Chains A and B, each alone.
Chain A
């Protein structure tokens, strides 16, 4: 085996190889800049369009980093809209977080009711108000748009970039990949760490042979690739993906191995056949020795794309040192019980492996906050970490 090239990605992408400041992970002032300059103008993924498939379907979510609560609803015209969850009368919060189907949204305080477009449909005893123009008192809108079936919102009613521009190269890279897969699992947790550290832990593979040495055994490393080097790294503007190697010689354990055989189309391991038809952004090297990709659509939407299933991982900053993390598992509609049982394996396995990734987060945050050391040292394979921090920093600098 050849000596690895410690400057491969540094040369390919020109992002350098020096240490990086960790101040942006503990600075309250930096976090407020992220909130005001980045998040209040960023396109943020809220889930899949097919989670609200029918007219009147809605979801309500409190979003700390935007300092608001948002209703997303499908209107009578089938269009998906987003508005602030606020009654313009006395500014009460109209709906509690959750989802459902409705004809409109009624404020429980005085009965003002809003239609699926956020317009004020009913004002209780309107004649009690002086000079009242009902059309001026709807729930304020956020921008909303769709990409590949994902719902995005933007706090900015006149975004700097439209969603297509924001998505950039990603627009074509995943064409059709998500079609036909539906929500088949979800878990969430709030962790005391900075959101960027959280993404870092889930988007480099250098840690796998150490941190996951028990859970992943030799499935992600082999004599050919002892460091679990990525099959490929692609940087697309502020977005990034790393394609994670799988050991083709891996011998599964009894129930794990059985689960692979129960699906009509095996979910694992990948084969030349199962990878051939994937779009360019999924397993970009088309190497069958492939587990999945870690892909981040800037700033906080992570996709874990595999053959026959994917993860949607969303990071919701709450404070500089606190982040809500939501993981959703999507797969094809099962035709047989065997399919369902095969799908259960990755749905559960990923959860418990990501919990290992999360095991370092609070300790890292604690020790960054100690202030003892001001910089982190990154190897070439950790280009995804470097690109994460650099993309945020560049965005803040370019837009302030």
Chain B
């Protein structure tokens, strides 16, 4: 199970679902999640986000510890789901019939493996 730094133990229950290594994985997680799951994570992460950035900014991004990498991925997931809650009130922007999410291929790039 992906571990988070101990200061962020309130987010630990969400880590298996949301500490995902690639943008591709986070995209698929969002579009396959229910709004209840997304809202639960959003409500948990929003009040922590500033502290997460502050914590991560104390370390070089070139060699983050495993638990800090997980924390960074949790922050990326917060970005990924933010519009589901803040704009669409749905996992995806289906209101205007956006092009079907599953037809989009999100590529995983070398820089992500380096993070």
Contacts and interface: CB of A to CB of B under 8 A. Distances in A.
Contact of B82 (A183, A213, A256, A337): A256
Interface of B is mostly: helix
A101 interface: no
Interface residues of B, number: 39
Nearest to B106: A187
Interface stretch (A33-41, A125-133, A339-347): A339-347
A42 to B, nearest CB: 25
Given A185-B109, A334-B61, A355-B104, A214 B79 contact: no
A189 B104 CA distance: 5
Contact of A255 (B27, B86, B96): B86
A215 B83 contact: yes
Interface in B46-94: 46, 49-50, 53, 56-57, 59, 61, 64, 72, 75-76, 78-80, 82-83, 86-88, 92-93
A191 interface: yes
B87 to A, nearest CB: 6
Contacts of A341: 53, 72, 75-76, 79
B39 to A, nearest CB: 13
Interface string A197-221: 0000000000000011111010000
Contacts of B111: 182-184
Contact of B80 (A187, A217, A334, A348): A348
Contacts of B46: 254-255
A349 interface: yes
A258 B80 contact: no
A352 B99 CA distance: 9
Contacts of B40: none
B18 to A, nearest CB: 14
A278 B49 CA distance: 32
B83 A189 contact: no
A338 B80 contact: no
A166 interface: no
A359 interface: yes
B6 interface: no
Contacts of B53: 262, 337-338, 341
A214 B57 contact: no
A336 interface: yes
B23 interface: yes
B104 A254 contact: no
Contact of A337 (B27, B61, B83, B92): B61
Contacts of B88: 214-215
B93 A352 contact: yes
Contact of A338 (B57, B87, B105, B115): B57
A186 B107 contact: yes
Contact of A217 (B87, B98, B106): B87
A55 to B, nearest CB: 18
A396 interface: no
A214 B95 contact: yes
A187 B57 contact: no
A255 B42 CA distance: 9
Given A255-B46, A255-B78, A336-B57, 13 more contacts: A183-B109, A211-B96, A212-B96, A214-B87, A214-B88, A254-B46, A258-B50, A337-B59, A344-B75, A355-B93, A355-B98, A356-B96, A359-B96
8 contacts: A214-B88, A337-B75, A341-B53, A347-B23, A348-B23, A352-B92, A355-B99, A359-B96
